[in-house]
Structures are given as structure tokens and as C-alpha cells.
């Protein structure tokens, strides 16, 4: 049985997606800040949340819901502002209540690393744009089985992106060990991450849909 997509297409798509995953944005900031503040498992939890959100985006792209979101300015604006507000809330938490290296309280549901990964990704309309605008560029009508091609690309999107995110989380978690003897520096780094999230939230809120 012929594969839904060619090896060359799969490779090109994965390279593009890995590059996309490395661009500093809400996902990367949440991964790094949680991995440094709470450890490797927290960083991985963010990655899991992002993967689940990407699965939802892929489903919506197939169903045409993402295209509807991008076609209706009001819907795009609501999702964008919702995402900006959530990022701002997380940023304020990092600034006002930085995690401690010992006796850390369990995070609330919305502040849980998995929830942060899922929410920041779900409320980022640029991810929906990627699903609608980029995935179709790698579909070859001549090969037929369009649904299978879309499913294969969606699987590669999630797998390659998650792999890169896990590497980012693991690397960031190594900083935690270096900060065990420097709690003050650890605190300042979290506050800096919070400030970066606030700046990113402001940029998202002010950014115009393209």
C-alpha cells in the first residue's frame, strides 16, 4: 500500500514544523518558564498540553472550523484577546508569586502546566492559521486519499513539534539544578519570564489579523 505522503514531503514538512516550534512565542515561553520553575516533568506537562491542543486544531482544520474562525474578524478578535488575557494572568503569577525550590504548593487547575500548554495553544489564532494555511500546501491531490494525507500531516505536525518541545523542556530543566544554590537568582528569572509573558500578551492583543 502506498504511503499517504511521500518521504520527501514528510521530511520537508517536519523541518518546517521544527523551525516553527523553535520560534519564541507563547508555547516556548510556557515550556521554558515551567521547566525552570517546576522541573522537567512540568515542562513535559506543558508539551503534552500543547500536543492535545494541536490535535484539536488539526481536527478543526479538517472540519473547516479554523477557516471559519479566521474568516470572521470578531471570532478571531475574541480568541486573540482571550489568549492575551490568559498569558497576562500567567505572567502576573510568575512576577508576584514565583515558585520556590522547596515546599512548592500544587498549582491551581488553570495554572497547571498542562493547562498552560493547552490554553496558550488553543487561544493562539496563529496556530489555527498554520493548520489552515500551511498543512494544505503539502497535500498532493494527484496521490488521492486527501483525508489520509491530512491525517498523516497532522500526525507529523504533532509528533515533530512535540519532540522539539520535549527537547526544549529537558534543556531548560537543567537550569533548575544550577539554581538550587541561588534561590534569589531563581526568583528573578521567574519574574523576568513573567515580564516576557506580559510583553507577549500585549503584542498579541495589539497585533492585527493577517
Q: How confident is the model at residue 100 (pLDDT cuts 50, 70, 90)?
A: low
pTM for the model stands at: 0.74
The mean per-residue pLDDT over the stretch 97-119 comes to: 69
* 138-189 confidence digits (pLDDT tens): 877 777 777 788 888 888 889 999 999 999 999 888 887 776 667 777 777 7
Q: Which residues contact 77 (CB under 8 A, 6 or more apart)?
A: 209
Domain boundaries, the chain: 26-206
CA-CA-CA-CA torsion for 63, 64, 66, 68, nearest 10 degrees? -140
* 52-92 confidence digits (pLDDT tens): 999 888 888 777 666 666 667 776 677 778 777 877 887 78
**Residue 23: DSSP 8-state:** S
What pLDDT, on a 0 to 100 scale, did the predictor assign at position 53?
92
Query: How many beta carbons lie within 10 A of that of residue 39, not counting itself?
Result: 20
Amino acid at each position: 500500500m502506498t504511503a499517504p505522503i511521500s518521504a520527501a514531503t514528510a521530511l520537508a514538512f517536519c523541518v518546517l514544523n521544527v523551525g516553527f516550534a523553535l520560534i519564541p512565542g507563547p508555547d516556548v515561553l510556557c515550556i521554558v518558564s515551567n521547566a525552570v520553575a517546576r522541573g522537567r516533568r512540568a515542562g513535559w506537562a506543558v508539551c503534552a498540553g500543547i500536543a492535545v491542543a494541536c490535535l484539536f486544531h488539526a481536527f478543526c482544520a479538517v472540519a473547516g472550523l479554523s477557516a471559519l474562525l479566521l474568516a470572521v474578524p470578531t471570532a478571531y478578535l475574541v480568541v486573540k484577546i482571550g489568549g492575551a488575557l490568559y498569558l497576562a494572568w500567567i505572567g502576573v503569577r510568575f512576577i508576584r508569586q514565583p515558585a520556590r525550590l522547596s515546599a512548592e504548593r500544587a498549582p491551581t487547575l488553570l495554572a497547571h502546566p498542562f493547562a498552560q500548554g493547552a490554553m496558550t495553544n488553543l487561544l493562539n489564532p496563529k496556530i489555527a492559521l498554520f493548520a489552515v494555511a500551511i498543512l494544505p500546501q503539502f497535500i498532493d491531490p494527484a496521490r488521492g486519499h486527501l483525508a489520509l494525507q491530512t491525517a498523516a500531516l497532522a500526525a507529523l505536525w504533532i509528533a515533530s513539534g512535540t519532540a522539539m518541545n520535549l527537547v526544549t523542556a529537558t534543556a531548560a530543566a537543567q537550569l533548575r539544578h544550577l539554581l538550587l544554590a541561588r534561590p534569589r537568582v531563581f526568583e528573578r528569572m521567574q519574574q523576568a519570564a513573567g515580564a516576557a509573558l506580559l510583553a507577549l500578551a500585549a503584542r498579541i492583543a495589539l497585533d492585527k489579523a493577517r
